[in-house]
């Protein structure tokens, strides 16, 4: 059997003020007409049944998810008591679904990625599934389109596991987000792919990897397997470290395979992503909603309520919602989450 695990635990702080705690970016239409989580589910519908799609998300988002995905059943939402990064989220999901088929294939997808060519994505996914059946921990390495400093990279080995239209490599190393000079070197070498954060493996394979590389977490997951109650889950989350699956397992495992993903992909990490996906006007602006301006160029301007008017500005991000407005230099787009921290420390949670 195939199972899809959609990771929807992020709060999308870099998309404030449109993304909020109650309605984070994966539940709103950042790019198209539908929410990002809905688009992610739709992308994999041709591969599996609705009942085989599970979502890992904070427990306080369950009602919002069910409203966004009316076909989703409540039991298919795996509610996290708190955020503890991807290793625990994936372990929790694996233990929760292994009762259906211990050797089933687990497809792990973040809820907020942009992949417009669904056909090419599905063809690549089929290759990943075939490799995963052989006992590999498979990840997607996206062919880089530019020297991007906002993504991690995977250095691939010259050894090819699978040849053909979609080659599959062994990994040499996982690299953290580089500075621009290092990113340029990565891309020029041709040995590096973007780390997509998408994975495919047999449930038994990833559980074996937890046992070998994260034995303490594995023992906690075993306790949850024996007693799958909210109380036990809460204790596990409180006791477990904040570790990504890359750091906990993928960087250490010997059976990692990297599928070369030659399709357009974006992790939609900040407002700057809109420039890569939406059409610009003759002045290089991305506009959505009420706007009028003069001598305004190379800016991202979005209004959910009322009119934004500008004179003589460039390289800005301006986002207006019903009761909040953000004005930010594009070069500071990654820093928007600092505003979220300021709101928290100044007792302004109502704007979160």
Say what the pTM is: 0.93
Q: Which is more confidently placed, 293 or 11?
A: 293
Domain definitions of the chain by residue range: 2-261, 273-351
Both tokens of 275, joined, read 């420039």
The confidence score (pLDDT) of residue 253 equals 96
Both tokens of 241, joined, read 């470290």
Residue 10 pLDDT > 80, yes or no? yes
pLDDT tens-digit map of 209-222: 999 999 999 999 99
Euclidean distance between CA atoms 138 and 129, whole angstroms: 8
pLDDT tens-digit map of 13-23: 999 999 998 89
Residue 31 pLDDT > 90, yes or no? no
Mean pLDDT of the region 320-331: 94
The confidence score (pLDDT) of residue 272 equals 93
The confidence score (pLDDT) of residue 131 equals 95
pLDDT tens-digit map of 178-237: 999 999 999 999 999 999 999 999 999 999 999 999 999 999 999 999 999 999 999 999
Max mean pLDDT among 28-32, 105-109, 276-280 falls in: 105-109
The confidence score (pLDDT) of residue 165 equals 83
Mean pLDDT of the region 75-89: 95
| Beta strands 77-80 and 168-175, pairing class | unpaired
The confidence score (pLDDT) of residue 30 equals 87
Sheet containing 325-329: order of strands: 286-294, 300-311, 316-320, 325-329
Give the Cβ contact number of residue 285 at 10 Å: 20
The confidence score (pLDDT) of residue 250 equals 96
Matching residue, tokens 């001598």: 295
The confidence score (pLDDT) of residue 234 equals 96
Bridge partners, residue 153, by sequence: 175, 194
Residue 163 pLDDT > 80, yes or no? no
**In this structure, which topology does domain 2-261 adopt according to CATH?**
Spore Coat Polysaccharide Biosynthesis Protein SpsA; Chain A (3.90.550)
Both tokens of 10, joined, read 């992020």
Mean pLDDT of the region 277-294: 94
The confidence score (pLDDT) of residue 159 equals 77
The confidence score (pLDDT) of residue 161 equals 81
Matching residue, tokens 């498979």: 138
Matching residue, tokens 């953290």: 176
Euclidean distance between CA atoms 327 and 295, whole angstroms: 17
Computed on alpha carbons and rounded to an integer, the radius of gyration of the chain in Å comes to: 21
């Amino acid at each position: 059997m195939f199972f899809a695990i959609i990771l929807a635990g992020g709060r999308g702080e870099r998309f404030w003020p449109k993304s909020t705690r109650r309605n984070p970016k994966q539940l709103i239409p950042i790019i198209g007409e539908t929410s990002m989580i809905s688009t992610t589910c739709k992308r994999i519908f041709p591969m599996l049944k609705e009942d085989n799609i599970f979502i890992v998300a904070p427990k306080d988002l369950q009602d919002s998810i069910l409203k966004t995905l009316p076909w989703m059943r409540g039991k298919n939402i795996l509610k996290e008591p708190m955020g503890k990064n991807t290793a625990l989220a994936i372990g929790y999901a694996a233990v929760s679904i292994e009762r259906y088929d211990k050797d089933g294939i687990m497809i792990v997808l973040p809820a907020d990625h942009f992949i417009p060519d669904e056909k090419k994505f599905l063809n690549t996914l089929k290759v990943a599934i075939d490799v995963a059946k052989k006992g590999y921990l498979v990840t997607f390495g996206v062919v880089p389109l530019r020297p991007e400093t906002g993504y991690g990279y995977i250095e691939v080995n010259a050894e090819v596991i699978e040849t053909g239209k979609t080659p599959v490599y062994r990994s040499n190393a996982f690299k953290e987000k580089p500075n621009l000079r290092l990113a340029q070197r990565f891309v020029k070498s041709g040995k590096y792919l973007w780390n997509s954060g998408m994975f495919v493996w047999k449930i038994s394979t990833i559980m074996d990897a937890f046992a070998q590389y994260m034995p303490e977490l594995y023992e906690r997951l075993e306790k949850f397997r024996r007693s799958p109650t909210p109380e036990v889950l809460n204790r596990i989350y409180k006791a477990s470290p904040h570790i990504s699956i890359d750091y906990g397992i993928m960087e250490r495992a010997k059976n990692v395979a990297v599928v070369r993903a030659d399709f357009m992909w974006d992790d939609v990490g900040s407002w700057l992503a809109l420039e890569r996906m939406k059409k610009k006007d003759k002045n290089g602006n991305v506009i959505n909603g009420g706007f009028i301006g003069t001598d305004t160029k190379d800016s991202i301007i979005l209004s959910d309520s009322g009119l934004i008017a500008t004179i003589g500005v460039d390289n800005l991000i301006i986002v207006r919602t019903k009761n909040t407005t953000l004005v930010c230099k594009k070069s500071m787009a990654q820093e928007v989450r600092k505003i979220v921290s300021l709101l928290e420390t100044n007792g302004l949670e109502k704007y979160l």
